[in-house]
Amino acid sequence: IQSKLPGIGTTIFSVMSKLAAEHNAINLSQGFPDYPCDPKLTELVSKAMKDGFNQYAPMPGNPFLKETIAEKVEKLYRVKYNPDTEITITAGGTQAIFTALAAIINPGDEVIIFEPAYDCYAPTIKLLGGQVKTYELAPPNYDIDWDMVKKLFTSNTRMIILNSPQNPTGSILSEEDMKLLIKLVSGTDILILSDEVYEHLVYDEQKHTSVMLFPELKKRSFVIASFGKLLHATGWKLGYCLAPEPLTKEFRKVHQFNVFSVNSPMQQAIADYIKEPGNYSGIATFFEKKRDFFRGLLAESRFELLPCKGSYFQCASYSKISDEKDTDFSIRLIKEFGVATIPVSAFYQKATDHKIIRFCFAKENLTLESAAKKLKNV
């Protein structure tokens, strides 16, 4: 069979989690919590099931959930999205990203991404016949020089994909970044896909700089969010897409034939749960403490820690430890030291060798301690 995605294998997350299980290693690779989500939340799901939310939800999503999201977004960012025409509930951030790209990208359209980049962007663009234009971010700060981004623009540039806080680097976009971006896109019809699944995970008293805060960006953006991160429940695979009406209209044309609608009892339960902001308002502090705890533990190792301003990922250089390629080093870490991580080269399309690996710190402190004990021997 002629592959539509030649050169693409199984995602690094599946590969590393499988290896971790096979070798009984502590899994700091794939990003997911190893502790339970709030029992209140699971009780709300069984309540929703008992209350009869067991058939198809409306195609764009449960109305109560969409309204609750509109309220949440208005409270956080002082912007309005119409729940009827501008909010769609999806099967996680991944499906929202796929659907937004499928709704917009035609063969030959160019999409700018920033690498290292979350791994689904480039394959999805290629699957749709689009061209990936890559801006390479440089460690350790992974800052963006917007004049250089402008050099990637052509008459075929259709979209820019932003991701702040960023997976895997933990970097965040500033207000200054947004202002420079506005200068680049004003007067063009370039669209933005803003992957903000880690919007709540911003540390050191910084605020999340959403594209929603800037009308010039908001009007051209699909904003992607994931309940997996907000609720410590990545397996629920629920998220949403915010976009102005004309964009949402196109989004839903694809969404209705892609999944039609998503898990009904969970949508109802999530609405009940996030209606009460106290149920999630402590999340940044919760993860900031974990970040600090984990960085403190690793300070006694030979790994060199990169900055982590947001997300639940900590990157580290092992260049003082080994010359190996990051994939080889990660595999050896699993087999010889019992800790699974993600080699950051997996987030680039071309071969790279920065000798950086990514740890997920959304774990019990005991897990982080056990992992750090092993990492100190490396």
Q: Which residues pair with 226 in a beta bridge?
A: 239
- Minimum distance of ligand PMP from residue 116's CB (angstroms): 11
Contacts of 282 (CB under 8 A, 6+ apart): none
Q: Give all strands of the β-sheet with 304-305 in edge-to-edge order.
A: 304-305, 313-317, 356-360, 342-343
**CB atoms < 10 A from the CB of 6, how many?**
7
- Minimum distance of ligand PMP from residue 223's CB (angstroms): 12
CA 135 → CA 114, 132, 147, 255, 337, distances in Å?
5, 10, 11, 29, 34
- Minimum distance of ligand PMP from residue 154's CB (angstroms): 26
The strand ranges marked E within 37-195 are 87-90, 110-115, 131-136, 157-163, 191-195
Gap between the Cα atoms of 255 and 261, Å rounded: 8
Stretch that binds ligand PMP, among 88-96, 173-181, 260-268, 292-300 (CB under 6 A): 88-96
Gap between the Cα atoms of 288 and 298, Å rounded: 15
- Minimum distance of ligand PMP from residue 227's CB (angstroms): 7
Tokens of 288: 């900031």
The letter for the amino acid at 44 is L
> Could you report how far apart the first and last alpha carbons of the chain are, in Å?
44
From 305, 297, 320, 307, select the one nearest 375 (Cα to Cα): 297
- Minimum distance of ligand GLN from residue 81's CB (angstroms): 24
195 binds ligand PMP (CB under 6 A): yes
* Partner from ligand GLN, ligand PMP, none binding residue 30, C-beta < 5-8 Å depending on class: ligand GLN
Which C-beta is closer to ligand PMP: that of 197 or that of 357? 197
61 binds ligand PMP (CB under 6 A): no
Which C-beta is closer to ligand PMP: that of 197 or that of 315? 197
144 Rama sector, left if φ>0, alpha if ψ -120 to 50, beta otherwise = beta
* Partner from ligand PMP, ligand GLN, none binding residue 226, C-beta < 5-8 Å depending on class: ligand PMP
Which C-beta is closer to ligand GLN: that of 63 or that of 123? 123
Which C-beta is closer to ligand PMP: that of 53 or that of 240? 240
Give the per-residue contact string, 132-171, with ligand PMP (x = CB under 6 A; - = no).
-------------------------------x---x----
Helix axes 39-50, 264-274, angle to 10 degrees: 130
Which C-beta is closer to ligand PMP: that of 163 or that of 268? 163
Size of the site for ligand GLN (CB under 6 A): 5
Gap between the Cα atoms of 9 and 32, Å rounded: 22
Sites for ligand PMP among residues 198-237 (CB under 6 A) = 226, 228, 234, 237
Stretch that binds ligand PMP, among 38-46, 86-94, 137-145, 178-186 (CB under 6 A): 86-94
Which C-beta is closer to ligand PMP: that of 31 or that of 265? 31
Among 93, 265, 310, 343, the residue binding ligand PMP under the rule CB under 6 A is: 93
Contacts of 374 (CB under 8 A, 6+ apart): 26, 337, 338, 339
Which C-beta is closer to ligand PMP: that of 287 or that of 301? 287
Gap between the Cα atoms of 281 and 46, Å rounded: 24
From 312, 332, 322, select the one nearest 356 (Cα to Cα): 322
* Partner from ligand PMP, ligand GLN, none binding residue 163, C-beta < 5-8 Å depending on class: ligand PMP
**CA angle at residue 99 from 98 to 103, to 5 degrees?**
120
Which C-beta is closer to ligand PMP: that of 33 or that of 338? 33
Sites for ligand GLN among residues 162-221 (CB under 6 A) = 167
Among 25, 26, 28, 30, the residue binding ligand GLN under the rule CB under 6 A is: 30
Which C-beta is closer to ligand GLN: that of 16 or that of 298? 16
Q: Which residues are near ligand PMP by CB under 6 A?
A: 31, 92-94, 118, 163, 167, 195, 197, 226, 228, 234, 237, 239
Q: Which residues are near ligand GLN by CB under 6 A?
A: 11, 13, 30-31, 167
